[in-house]
Structure 1
């Protein structure tokens, strides 16, 4: 009897998205058998800050929390220069209300702050005063850490894509315990000994 199909992980894509922030997470989610689907403001192509043209798999209006394992929100210049991405912050609220986790990095954390989603959760971002500039009410819950997970919400700053991925892989059970730690040490610290741990785990 085959294992039940896993729900897809949805990665938000929009113009000016920071394309370096989600690669570690999506690569290892896909390797572990999690379908990865992109969701845009519409079905029209978008272009990342690095100039990559991305054709979304579906439009945000067609995304439902019950059909997803996780919503990933990367940073983008648009988070701080317009209200164009506010619908993605509202979608994050719907996901969390439905019990489906959300992961936000870089400017997406500011979008969630403006939506009020960080007012009562431990969280992090680039720096505390970046989020304080949004006028949000969660400053006392800001944590100076590479990445933070609290009640289904992962946050990280723009310099921590590997830690961001670590929290995602741990939350979805791709890696656990010493294997998750080894994965992080390999890609964050270039620790050669960590590779041996991963090889032994893959052989089991």
Structure 2
């Protein structure tokens, strides 16, 4: 098990801002360092127009220094092969036993890389992934988010379920607290607040 407390967040032009906010904010609040990884270290601009200066370039990312790689959605995933190197890096991570979490368009990117052919997974809709020509259609699951081994997938409307799976994988919250976190942020269940903030 990788003992590092550093999580890497992939960032690139048209990055979908809303998809990873819960994940990264609560990782930071629970002792993880979140570092951004771009195609290069040149600034990128999110879908919402936010400019991000990546901490490091993809070529310099070593899976041995990471607890998790997060691949976010972006228009670029379906506009050509510009982000294919990120999917290839995901393969390197998974081959080394380091988790990867992919949401929205990133699921199509890793499908093209062949990473969903033999793993349970989800995405926006099944036919979105089918259009990639991948061979994993029988492993598609109609679910908010899916974890299969070291790979987490989710669709674009499920940032809270995506975060829940990441927290479970990294042991950020467990059991009753994980359930309470999800009920608070997904269901607006105020009764979950006290459980989440109770002393362990």
TM-score (norm. length: structure 2): 0.98
The CA deviation string for residues 30-86 of structure 1, in whole angstroms up to 9 with x for no partner, is 000000000000010000000000000000000011110000000000000111000
Kindly state the Cα deviation for residue 199 of structure 1 after the two structures are TM-superposed. Answer: 1.9
Preserved contact between residue 71 and residue 102 of structure 1 (Cα < 8 Å): yes
Partner of 2:176: 178
Q: 5+ unaligned residues in a row in structure 1: which ranges?
A: none
Partner of 2:133: 135
2:33 is equivalent to residue 46 of structure 1: no
Q: Provide the C-alpha distance between the structure 2 equivalents of 1:7 and 1:190, rounded to a whole number of angstroms.
A: 29
Q: How does 1:82-101 map to 2 (within 5 A)?
A: 82-101=80-99
> Of 99, 102, 107, which residue of structure 1 is paired with 2:105?
107
Preserved contact between residue 182 and residue 195 of structure 1 (Cα < 8 Å): yes
Preserved contact between residue 147 and residue 155 of structure 1 (Cα < 8 Å): yes
Partner of 1:58: 56
Partner of 1:23: 21
2:142 is equivalent to residue 144 of structure 1: yes
Preserved contact between residue 124 and residue 147 of structure 1 (Cα < 8 Å): yes
Q: Provide the C-alpha distance between the structure 1 equivalents of 2:41 and 2:20, rounded to a whole number of angstroms.
A: 20
Preserved contact between residue 166 and residue 184 of structure 1 (Cα < 8 Å): yes
Preserved contact between residue 4 and residue 65 of structure 2 (Cα < 8 Å): no
Kindly state the Cα deviation for residue 149 of structure 1 after the two structures are TM-superposed. Answer: 0.3
> Which ranges of 4 or more aligned residues in structure 1 deviate by more than 6 Å?
none
Q: What secondary structure sits across from 1:20 in the alignment?
A: helix
Kindly state the Cα deviation for residue 6 of structure 1 after the two structures are TM-superposed. Answer: 3.7
CA RMSD of aligned residues (A): 0.8
Q: 5+ unaligned residues in a row in structure 2: which ranges?
A: none
2:108 is equivalent to residue 126 of structure 1: no
The CA deviation string for residues 67-121 of structure 1, in whole angstroms up to 9 with x for no partner, is 1000000000000011100000000000000000000000000000000000000
